[in-house]
Structure 1
Amino acid sequence: MARNPLSQQALLEMSRNCAAVLNEVGVDASTAQLVAAAGVSERTFFRYFPMKADCLRPIMEDGYLRFVSAVQDNCGAGESTDLLEIVCSAFIAAYGHGEDGLDQRFLELITSAEIYRRLWLAINEETMQALYAPMSQVLGLPEDHIDVRIAADAATRLAVESIRLMALYSLSAHQAATQVADALRRHPLMRPAAHR
């Protein structure tokens, strides 16, 4: 008899439990410790998380999906056409409440430990692709237009650098995203040609 697959919510809970172990033990947490934290058999653990690092995929994906959703909401609201403002407020909405398990030690782990950093970088690529549609909407251009792709890349870069600042300096999502947005605004490539 076939088993029902685990729900996304169940996988997210397992991922949060694994993140708690990694927060406590660090990168050297054993597979056995992660399996125990997930609360399933080793066979079930590896069915859903084929590689050890994959146990963090649901929690990372949850963050990026909340971020993309917040960008879509902000783009659809039509209150602003300032992409940096849209993306900055979306990042704060997605990561500013602290219930996602992304505490200081977890952020340090995913941004520096090679096994988890690779997964994080792959998810950043997925984030960028998911942002094509909302960037297309706010810019009024087709999704495959170069301006849309560059905007999606810049939005992802804001999120990536904000998470790095949170990891390095214990900043809040608001502090980190605001600093990154301000830095991007100061950058010559981000200013209109007349002001360069």
Structure 2
Amino acid sequence: MSPVREAHGGAGPTGRPSLTERRRAATRSEIAEAAAALFSERGYEATTVEDIARAAGISLRTFYRYCPTKEDALTPVLTAGVAQLVEQLALRPAAEPVTEAVQAAFVTATAGDRYAQPGQTVRLIQVMSRVPEIRLRWLAVARAMQDRLVPVLAARTGRAESALETRVLAAVLIDAVTVALEHWAAEEGREPLHEVSARALALLRVAE
């Protein structure tokens, strides 16, 4: 593939995203981070599309090219943890009990300043929990996370991906993690997140 063709889209010979795709992803991430900061600082209603575009250093036209609506700006923030959790769970030892593996994967996926110094993250999750438009997208992300978790759980448990037990297990685990995040934020992050998630997962009685 020629450099010119790769620059205009598609994957390169190594399967990596093209330069154009990487630039789009970077812009999308910048929009999301700007929206997350503004929503957490000012609140959802007080933040305009113009505010987000200005904070991200882009035009309104560019914003709408990436985000049909204001609440869509947060999509990369919502989906970032999805891939990290699933990827980390896939790396856990196969013999490790499912709930322990999920807890360890969750701890790794939420490591870093965003959760260690939770002020902005707490406010953002509170917005995500309380604003109906954003909560709908969060629930959609949770369902997508379930679908991505199914093959990982099937490989760990030896059950088929289509098995009722596999799909229910994925749903229960994701719900437990989601509720833990919401509870942690509602309590202003006073308790370490990994302890909240551990308590939530300990309530489950999973047939492994």
Normalising by structure 1, report the TM-score: 0.85
Tell me which residue corresponds to 2:35: 18
Q: Which runs of 5+ in 2 are unaligned?
A: 1-7, 10-19
Residues 126, 186 of structure 2: 8 Å contact kept: yes
Structure 1: how far apart are the matches of 2:99 and 2:150?
A: 15
RMSD: 2.2
Q: Which of 173, 176, 182 is equivalent to 2:196?
A: 176
Structure 2: how far apart are the matches of 1:59 and 1:111?
A: 14
Structure 2: how far apart are the matches of 1:179 and 1:155?
A: 13
Note the C-alpha offset of 1:8. Answer: 2.1
Tell me which residue corresponds to 2:181: 163
C-alpha distance after superposition, 1:43-67 (max 9, x if no partner): 1111111111110001111111111
Note the C-alpha offset of 1:191. Answer: 7.4
What percentage of residue pairs aligned between the two structures are identical? Answer: 22
Tell me which residue corresponds to 1:89: 104
Residues 48, 70 of structure 2: 8 Å contact kept: no
Normalising by structure 2, report the TM-score: 0.80
Structure 2: how far apart are the matches of 1:63 and 1:51?
A: 22
Note the C-alpha offset of 1:38. Answer: 2.1
Dislocated runs of 4+, deviation >4 Å: none
Structure 1: how far apart are the matches of 2:70 and 2:171?
A: 28
C-alpha distance after superposition, 1:134-190 (max 9, x if no partner): 0010011221111110111122112211111121111332021111012224xxxx4
Number of aligned residues = 184
